[in-house]
Amino acid sequence: MSKLLNSVYQYSKKKLIQANKLIAKPSGHRIHRFYKDADGWFIDLPNWLGTKGQLAMVQGADTFLDKISDHTTEVWVEMSVDKLEGECYELIKYHDLTDGAMYYYADKYGAEYPMWLCGVTEFVFGNMPEKIYCRKIIVI
C-alpha cells in the first residue's frame, strides 16, 4: 500500500473509531461474542460503523480465540481492565503501534504467546489498556 493510501486509511480508521465511541460508550468491563466463519475470527460489535474486515482477529488473537473456544466457531469472552476473580488470561501490552498494540499472554505452563490487538480495542475500552484480563464465559 502506498504511503499516501496508508495515511488516508489510518486517518479514516481513526475517525471511524471516534465516531463509534459516540454510539457505544467504552467501558473497562465488557462481555463480547466472537465468531469464526470461512474468513476467520471476528468480534461481534453490532454498533460498529466500519467494515467486517476491521473487526477481524488476526496475528495471534485468532489462535488465542481458537484456544479459549476449544476450537469451536463461537465464544463469549468477559474482558476487563481490572483483575477478574478466579482464573483468567492476563494480556499485557508490550509495544504500542500506530493502529493498536502488541500484547502477550502466558499459558498455565508459562509459555508466552504474542498477539496484535488493533485499534478496535480502543473503541471497546476507550484506550489501549496496559493489561486486559479475559476469560471464556458460558452463555445459556
Order across the sheet with 29-37: list the strands.
56-57, 40-43, 29-37, 74-80, 131-137, 89-97, 100-106, 112-117
Phi, psi (rounded to 5 degrees) for 135 = -160, 155
The predicted pLDDT at position 20 comes to 47
What single letter denotes the amino acid at residue 29?
A: H
Is the distance from CB of 50 to CB of 9 less than 8 angstroms?
A: no
Q: Show me where the domains of the chain are located.
A: 3-137
pLDDT in tens, 13-40: 555 555 445 445 556 788 889 999 999 9
What single letter denotes the amino acid at residue 49?
A: L
pLDDT in tens, 39-76: 999 999 888 888 899 999 999 999 999 999 999 999 99
Is 129 a residue whose pLDDT tops 80?
yes
Please give the residue that has the higher pLDDT: either 104 or 17. Answer: 104
Is 98 a residue whose pLDDT tops 90?
no
Of all residues in the chain, what percent carry a pLDDT higher than 90?
57
Is 80 a residue whose pLDDT tops 60?
yes
Phi, psi (rounded to 5 degrees) for 83 = -55, 130
Task: Calculate the CA 23 to chain-centre distance.
Answer: 18
Is 8 a residue whose pLDDT tops 50?
no
What single letter denotes the amino acid at residue 127?
A: N
The predicted pLDDT at position 3 comes to 46
CA distance 86 to 136: 12
